[in-house]
Amino acid sequence: MRHPRTWVDGEPLPFASNVDRAEDGTIYFSSSSRRYPLDQWMGDLLEHSGTGRLFRLDPTGKPETLIDGVQFANGVVPSPDSDCVLVAEAGAYRVPPGPKRVPTTA
């Protein structure tokens, strides 16, 4: 990516992939890869880089990193009661419990 237009934590965001909104209006989104843009998505899966991330937009619209090291993030969904948000790891064939199940409130 030569001229990234979106940056998070001082790094370009080459592959933002999924977005969902919780009942309270909080926006969650994922980035499948730090290394590969959309048109080179297979490279990340083959490399198994684990550079995916999960973000939350704060009320000002600034992204906050919730999880780093996701194996090709490809699905985000807040739980029905909005007590957590789940992120699918396509590169690991799972929606993991534990650390990838992020509480929605601090």
The rounded distance, in Å, linking the Cα atoms of 92 and 80 is 24
The greatest distance separating any two alpha carbons of the chain, rounded to the nearest whole angstrom, comes to: 41
Tell me the backbone φ, ψ of residue 26, rounded to 5 degrees.
-65, 135
Counting every residue written for the chain, the total comes to 106
The single-letter DSSP state of residue 99 is G
pLDDT of residue 25: 83
Section 31-42 average pLDDT? 88
**More confident call, 58 vs 49:** 49
Tell me the backbone φ, ψ of residue 24, rounded to 5 degrees.
-80, 0
What the block records as the tokens of 101 is 């199940």
The rounded distance, in Å, linking the Cα atoms of 19 and 2 is 24
Residue 81 has pLDDT above 60, yes or no: yes
Residue 52 has pLDDT above 80, yes or no: yes
pLDDT of residue 98: 47
pLDDT of residue 4: 44
Percent of the chain's residues with pLDDT above 70: 86
Please give the model's pTM, rounded to 2 decimal places. 0.81
Residue 13 has pLDDT above 90, yes or no: no
Residue 66 and residue 54 in contact, taking contact as beta carbons nearer than 8 Å: yes
What the block records as the tokens of 26 is 């909080």
